[in-house]
Structure 1
Amino acid sequence: ITTYALTMTPLALSMEELLPPNRQTYSNIVMLRSALVLSSLIVALSVPFFGLVMSLVGSFLTMFVAYILPCACFLAILRRTVTWYQVLLCVFIIVVGLCCAGVGTYSSLSKIIQNYK
Structure 2
Amino acid sequence: MSLEELLPRNQQKYSNIIMLRSSLVASTLFIALLVPFFGLVMALVGSLLTMLVTYILPCACFLAILKKKVAWHQIAACSFIIVVGVCCACVGTYSSLSRIIQNYT
- Confirm whether residue 90 of structure 1 aligns to residue 55 of structure 2: no
**What is the percent sequence identity of the aligned residues?**
72
Segment drifting more, 87-96 vs 17-26: 17-26
Query: What count of residue pairs does the alignment treat as equivalent?
Result: 105
Match of 1:4 in 2: none
1:78 aligns with 66
Instruction: Report how far residue 16 of structure 1 moved.
Output: 0.9
1:27-106 superposed matches below 5 A: 27-106=15-94
CA separation in 2, counterparts of 1:49 and 1:33? 24
Measured against aligned partners, the alpha-carbon deviations of 1:75-96 in whole angstroms (never above 9, x if no partner) come to 0111111110000000000000
Q: CA deviation at 1:14?
A: 1.1
* RMSD, matched Cα: 0.6
Q: Which runs of 5+ in 1 are unaligned?
A: 1-12
Distance (Å, rounded) in 1 between the aligned partners of 2:41 and 2:8: 36
> Match for 1:87: what amino acid?
I
Give 3-state SS (helix, strand or coil) of 2:58's partner: helix
In the TM superposition, structure 1's runs of 4+ consecutive aligned residues that sit over 6 Å from their partners are: none
Structure 2 unaligned regions, length at least 5: none
Q: Which residue of 2 aligns with 1:8?
A: none
Report the TM-score, using the length of structure 1 for normalisation: 0.88
Deviation at 1:18, TM superposition (A): 1.2
Give the Cα–Cα distance (whole angstroms) in 2 for the partners of residues 96 and 62 of structure 1. Answer: 13
* Superposed displacement of residue 22, structure 1: 0.6
Report the Cα distance in structure 2 between the residues aligned to 1:20 and 1:109, rounded to whole angstroms: 42
Q: Secondary structure at the match of 1:53?
A: helix
Could you list the per-position Cα deviations for residues 21-78 of structure 1 after superposition, in whole angstroms to 9, with x for gaps in the alignment? 0110111111111111111111111011010011001001100001000000010111
